[in-house]
Amino acid sequence: MTASQAQFDWPYPIKWGEEQRVDTDVLVLGGGIAGCWAAIAVARNKGTAVTLVEKARTIRSGAGGSGCDHWEHAVTNPCCPLTPEEITQAQIDSNDGYNNGISHYIEAKEGYDRLLDLEKMGGKIRDTEDEFEGAEFRDEKTKLLFAYDYVNRYTIRTWGTTFKPALHAECRRLNVGILDRTMVTALLTEDGKQGGRVVGAVGFHVHTGRFVVIRAKASILCTSRPSRLWLFTPDLAGISEFRPMQACGDGHAISWRVGAEFTMLEKAVRAEWSGARSFPPYGTGNTHNTWYPCNMVDATGRELPWVDRDGNTLETTADRCRPAPGQKFFLKGGGETWFQKYEFLGPDLPPTEELIRMGYKLPFYADLSSLPEMERKAIWGLMIGEESKTKIPIKRMYEDAGFDPSKDQLRSYGDSWWSAKFKPSERQFFGLPGGLVNNWELRTNLEGLYAAGDTLFASDCHGHAAATGYYAGRHAARYAMSAQEPMIDENQVQRERKSTYAPAKREKGIAWKDLNVSITKIMQEYCGAVKSDELLTQGLNVLQDLREGEGASVFARNPHELMRSLEVLNILTNAEIVIHSSLVRKASCKQLHFMRSDSTEMDPPEWHKFMVVSRNGHGVRLRELPIDYYAPMGENYEKHNQDYIRENSI
């Protein structure tokens, strides 16, 4: 494609081949929640320069850019009687050990500090207008509102649509160098070697195509997790999955190429959302997450009972927000959360025998109208308003269409928040999926490369991204202060420049959407719900064929399509990592939703460990980590964070 051809349809000046060079101390890759907090931590470390590179626009980008209705695990808030140890251990136990004890301990220990920080920047975290005065979930002194467990009060209801603009303004105030609309396409390593110290990155501007080379002493990967591996909707590409389209796991692919270690990527759950096949997240009646603890009724208006973990019926809405007798606290969404008594599999599946025996009539509805007013206002007004992708598509559009939560009910499509039934082979990364392996500095196995937020293994949630982002920023800044000058290998820069631009050099070829669809078909076929060595190996071969065939002919007519094409090539790499991760786990594992047809063993004790994969010059390297490799949490945290502990004890 020539520049003039591109400009014909393209509203921005095309600058293929132009190059921008940037030198910085710490480079933050991805300007979502973790990335902004990482940049802020570095910038607060006086004398350390920080550059943040964001594919979209930092002011609203990422999964948390449009909102956050609840901030989880803020146990150090003055109303919570729990300790960081208790809440982190409960999260580890409820996942049978397959969890990130480091990052979730950081979340519990520092998450509330970040929320207070955010308030100083202009984020709204309290009911300052006294809209919920007198509500059971409000603390009258602090005006904080809590969700789920009203006794232990560790999840805070927030006005999260205010958060990202506040973070962006703080980055600007602290002189963070922000490169918006810039896609990172590769990491640079010392001497250009795989496994070497990470010394920067390259990328390009997604409007102009200008190439960017950034040299940095330390880099922090904050690019979220992979998506679109099993599901992609070409005509509704932007809502193919739960998280935003541009956060599709580029960071995983580019760090894999230079030798970073990953674990738990064999875990993928049956899909819950995709394109037109499902209603938008939070847009159907349910009792989960944002909709907790809504009433559910059947077609005749008969209420479905709720029970506690011991099967005792709960009489009031308030009972659903208190631990059971003898239980100290409960985790939202964990096995110990309260749910309706009878399983409802959705209108397209026969009702369970129990439902029939009890005489309930389908369909079911979430009934906001019969909730106490404060609970109704908290779900529909605050949480649906502030959740994220809900303010406009759900709250505003449903209300514009006449929905009145004080009168109307909303159709339910099954327990939890399902709104469609996906095939078992249609999978998604949801609920603590795998990712980069980290140590107590949130450093990866590569010198100079740190990671935070949803990039980490077993990661999730806004508060987790904020806390780990800030933490990684602190540690990366400390490293950068004493690190040697980074040396960029110009041969590597030229190699990466060539492969970045390759799709734009082709006159014709396959379109990125077609390539993405092909990957999903292969993943469903060879790496679906039930796996075997034979299928997985065939899957790797087919992916290899795809890479060498259609992958090598994907073409882009402008910088935007170049971004999309490179994303899909990264998705292809992520599919390969998932298959490698699946190949090395030889026994089925319930917690990881990992089933093998060529092993009859389910959770044998010798497989209760993390399988860690990385790439080196000879192929894929395997290492094992004990399931509690991070223990003891409190001691290790203190060992690595004396500065922070000192500063915060003043």
Ligand X SMILES: Cc1cc2nc3c(=O)[nH]c(=O)nc-3n(C[C@H](O)[C@H](O)[C@H](O)COP(=O)(O)OP(=O)(O)OC[C@H]3O[C@@H](n4cnc5c(N)ncnc54)[C@H](O)[C@@H]3O)c2cc1C
Contact residue for ligand X among 6, 26, 45, 72 (CB under 6 A):
72
For ligand X, the closer of residues 72 and 561 by Cβ is: 72
Q: Which stretch binds ligand X (CB under 6 A): 39-47, 454-462, 476-484, 534-542?
A: 454-462
- Name the minimum Å distance from CB 269 to ligand X: 15
For ligand X, the closer of residues 451 and 540 by Cβ is: 451
- Name the minimum Å distance from CB 352 to ligand X: 29
Contact residue for ligand X among 16, 25, 51, 62 (CB under 6 A):
62
Residue 238, CA distances (Å) to 6, 47, 275, 307, 564 in order: 23, 40, 8, 38, 12
Contact residue for ligand X among 70, 104, 376, 443 (CB under 6 A):
70
**Token duo for residue 249:** 């796991």
Contact residue for ligand X among 223, 240, 492, 500 (CB under 6 A):
223
Q: Which stretch binds ligand X (CB under 6 A): 303-311, 348-356, 385-393, 629-637?
A: 385-393
Peptide bond into 244 cis (omega under 30): no
**Token duo for residue 64:** 């948390």
- Rule CB under 6 A: is residue 388 a binding residue for ligand X? yes
Distance in angstroms (rounded) separating the CA atoms of residues 456 and 631: 17
**Is there a contact between 386 and 70 (Cβ–Cβ < 8 Å)?**
no
* Coil vs helix vs strand at 186: strand
- Name the minimum Å distance from CB 584 to ligand X: 26
Binding mask 412-431 for ligand X (x = CB under 6 A): --------------------
Contact residue for ligand X among 196, 209, 281, 473 (CB under 6 A):
281
For ligand X, the closer of residues 63 and 488 by Cβ is: 63
Contact residue for ligand X among 24, 88, 224, 295 (CB under 6 A):
224
Binding mask 318-337 for ligand X (x = CB under 6 A): --------------------
- Name the minimum Å distance from CB 311 to ligand X: 30
- Rule CB under 6 A: is residue 166 a binding residue for ligand X? no
Contact residue for ligand X among 24, 48, 61, 582 (CB under 6 A):
61
CA torsion through residues 433, 438, 442, 445, sign: negative
Residue 538, H or E segment: helix 533-548
If you ran DSSP here, which 8-state letter would residue 396 be given? I
Q: Which stretch binds ligand X (CB under 6 A): 246-254, 311-319, 370-378, 514-522?
A: 246-254
Residues of span 456-485 touching ligand X by CB under 6 A: 460-463, 465
- Rule CB under 6 A: is residue 147 a binding residue for ligand X? no
Distance of CA 66 to the CA centre of its chain: 14
- Rule CB under 6 A: is residue 118 a binding residue for ligand X? no
- Rule CB under 6 A: is residue 216 a binding residue for ligand X? no
For ligand X, the closer of residues 223 and 492 by Cβ is: 223
Please state, as a whole number, how many other Cβ atoms lie within 10 Å of the Cβ of residue 325: 8
User: Which amino acid is located at 6 in the chain?
Assistant: A
Q: Which stretch binds ligand X (CB under 6 A): 62-70, 128-136, 169-177, 394-402?
A: 62-70
- Name the minimum Å distance from CB 174 to ligand X: 18
Contact residue for ligand X among 108, 222, 368, 540 (CB under 6 A):
222
CA torsion through residues 15, 21, 24, 27, sign: positive
**Is there a contact between 232 and 248 (Cβ–Cβ < 8 Å)?**
no
Q: Judge residue 68's burial from the number of C-beta atoms within 10 Å of its C-beta, 0-12 exposed, 13-18 middle, 19 or more buried.
A: buried
* Coil vs helix vs strand at 364: coil
**Is there a contact between 277 and 284 (Cβ–Cβ < 8 Å)?**
no
- Rule CB under 6 A: is residue 562 a binding residue for ligand X? no
Residues 6+ apart with CB under 8 A from 509: 503, 553, 554, 555
Core vs surface per residue 31-67: b (16+ CB within 10 A) or e: bbbbbbbbbbbbbbbeebbbbbbbbbebbebbbbbbb
* Coil vs helix vs strand at 298: coil
For ligand X, the closer of residues 152 and 246 by Cβ is: 246
Distance in angstroms (rounded) separating the CA atoms of residues 347 and 306: 20
- Rule CB under 6 A: is residue 250 a binding residue for ligand X? yes
Residues of span 594-623 touching ligand X by CB under 6 A: none
For ligand X, the closer of residues 464 and 596 by Cβ is: 464
**Is there a contact between 115 and 71 (Cβ–Cβ < 8 Å)?**
yes
Contact residue for ligand X among 210, 228, 243, 497 (CB under 6 A):
243
For ligand X, the closer of residues 35 and 101 by Cβ is: 35
Distance in angstroms (rounded) separating the CA atoms of residues 13 and 207: 8
**Is there a contact between 11 and 429 (Cβ–Cβ < 8 Å)?**
no
Peptide bond into 363 cis (omega under 30): yes
* Coil vs helix vs strand at 449: strand
**Rg (the chain; Cα; Å):** 24
Q: Which stretch binds ligand X (CB under 6 A): 109-117, 241-249, 367-375, 441-449?
A: 241-249
Please state, as a whole number, how many other Cβ atoms lie within 10 Å of the Cβ of residue 24: 24
- Name the minimum Å distance from CB 340 to ligand X: 22
- Name the minimum Å distance from CB 51 to ligand X: 12
Binding mask 14-53 for ligand X (x = CB under 6 A): ---------------xxxxxxx-----------------x
User: Which amino acid is located at 172 in the chain?
Assistant: R
Q: Which stretch binds ligand X (CB under 6 A): 69-77, 405-413, 540-548, 626-634?
A: 69-77
* Coil vs helix vs strand at 578: helix
- Rule CB under 6 A: is residue 246 a binding residue for ligand X? yes
**Token duo for residue 637:** 């945290």
Q: Which stretch binds ligand X (CB under 6 A): 243-251, 409-417, 431-439, 571-579?
A: 243-251
**Is there a contact between 554 and 621 (Cβ–Cβ < 8 Å)?**
no
Closest residue to ligand X: CB criterion: 32
- Name the minimum Å distance from CB 388 to ligand X: 3
- Rule CB under 6 A: is residue 454 a binding residue for ligand X? yes
**Is there a contact between 620 and 295 (Cβ–Cβ < 8 Å)?**
no
Distance in angstroms (rounded) separating the CA atoms of residues 123 and 104: 23
Instruction: Give me the residue label for tokens 């710490």.
Output: 26
Binding stretches for ligand X (CB under 6 A): 29-35, 53-56, 61-64, 68-70, 72, 183-184, 222-224, 242-243, 246-247, 250, 281, 387-389, 453-455, 460-463, 465
